[in-house]
Chains A and B, each alone.
Chain A
Amino acid sequence: MEISANYILAIETSCDETSAAVVSFDRQIRSNVVLSQDLIHAPFGGVVPELASRQHLKTILPVVEEALRRSELKLQDIAAFAVTQGPGLIGSLLVGVCFAKALAYYYHRPLIGIDHLQAHIESVFLSHRDIPFPSLALIVSGGHTSLFYLPERLKYRLLGRTRDDAAGEALDKVAKFLGLGYPGGPIIERLAEGGFARAFAFAIPRMKDNSLDFSFSGLKTAALKLIKDEEITASHAQLKDFLASFESAIVESLLFNLSQALSIYKAEAILLCGGVARNRRLRSCFLELGKEKGVKAYLPLPEYCTDNAAMVGALAAEIIRLNKPIASPLDLDAYARFKPD
């Protein structure tokens, strides 16, 4: 085992998942522990941590210990700490931030605050090292739908965001309304398989002001109206077609903005990330768009789409490698929405 202290311990608690990872300065992932509702087993007595910050308080220590154990390293071997600062649920973020601050203070190590959306973008770089710039990155998850312009490595410019619901949220809500379960995205994907995506017509929202912002509230409301008018239920004969049509409308709406951005900004590549980037329809249409527009299209591995600390550690490693300034670590604060300028 190497003694040289070239490892980062990264912590991510922006929402439901408590995650810790050990990542080397050269971006090798030594461990990546994600405690989500599905993965809870014996040590936690099967208790499902709800998203409340108090639950992170209970799980953060065992998760960090497990990440260290799997990496075969001790806290003394850690050269720097990294933590998600935001955006996210503020109470949850604060648990990770305070925990990481305490470690950095005690071990006299630097603490690197990481933006959650930038970390999602970094998940694409985990498996692709040669992504050309400038590029465009689309982040789609249960809580976020944002489009960024990346002029060069570690430079991010927000082009568009959702004005109401996130894309994943619209899927969740329609699934819940039909009593299909939670989270809605994967359930809808499974039930929509083989469905005829043109069976039900959805109007794809367009921004009146030529903005690259997203809106999914209208699609959600249209879906709920169709459910009522057509009396669609979980056992309806056309459920498959309905879900395929709805999922397809969400995908089309997401990629429409990306396509618009491509016609405005010169970009060599497009990136897709976030939890909804696991959706097969979105993945395949995204790759198709890349081909059609003649730009390279990059996706993260499915296991790095949902929230995880490995992407946080990888971004911290890149920040260290490029000698970016690390601002006053112990004043680091969490933020709920977009990264303050």
Chain B
Amino acid sequence: MKKKPLLFISNSEEETIAIARNLAESWEGKEIAFLYGELGAGKTVFARGLAAGLGVRDIYEVCSPSFALVNIYYGRFPIYHVDLFRLDRREDIIDLGWEDWIGQGVIIVEWAEKIDFDLGMPIFKIEIKVGQKGEREIYFSLKESDNL
């Protein structure tokens, strides 16, 4: 049985940040969030909101990890902000070091559709769509691990 994803509408970066902050405020430090959405949809902005909810003080520290592949921030827990934009080969994605991060902190993944393996943890799936007037539709659902 599949639950319908929750839908939030955001009309600005500030609103997106607020939605993400509310979501992450109650997190306990081992959550994994997969972010989906086209270029410019606002995945990094959403990640910034999650980081704010996780207690990162300087939210401008949160920037796109497309080049570095992973940025690490420290809020109440370590936050591993991963971006698979420029990785295409499966072995490179597996090689990133997931085993060092899982259970050690919160993992936020941009371009998560490139992951085709199970991380052994429940996944918060967040999909951001750009609406007709430039507003963002943010769909939120929880997926259990295949291995649980």
Where the two chains meet, the residues of A that have a C-beta atom closer than 8 Å to any C-beta of B are 15, 50-54, 87-91, 142-143, 161-166, 168-169, 172-173, 176-177, 182, 213, 217, 220-221, 224-225, 336-337
Contacts and interface: CB of A to CB of B under 8 A. Distances in A.
A91 B69 CA distance: 10
Interface residues of B, number: 26
Interface stretch (B19-27, B83-91, B112-120): B83-91
Contacts of B96: 52, 91
Contacts, number: 74
Interface of B: 38-40, 44-45, 60-61, 63-64, 66-72, 85-87, 89, 91-92, 95-97, 134
A67 B123 CA distance: 46
Given A88-B68, A164-B45, 11 more contacts: A15-B67, A50-B87, A51-B92, A52-B91, A53-B95, A91-B96, A142-B67, A143-B67, A165-B66, A173-B39, A177-B39
Nearest to B100: A91
A164 B44 contact: yes
Contacts of A224: 38-40
10 contacts: A52-B91, A52-B95, A163-B63, A164-B44, A164-B64, A165-B44, A165-B63, A172-B66, A224-B38, A224-B40
A88 B69 CA distance: 9
Contacts of A176: 39
B68 A54 contact: no
Contacts of B68: 15, 87-89, 143, 336
Nearest to A209: B60
Given A162-B63, A213-B60, A225 B97 contact: no
B71 A217 contact: no
Contacts of B69: 51, 89
Nearest to B60: A163
Nearest to B63: A164
B70 A90 contact: yes
Given A52-B96, A336-B72, A169 B67 contact: yes
A89 B95 CA distance: 13
Contacts of A90: 70, 72
A93 to B, nearest CB: 10
Top 6 nearest A-B pairs (CB, nearest first) are: A143-B67, A221-B40, A52-B95, A224-B40, A163-B60, A50-B92
A149 to B, nearest CB: 19
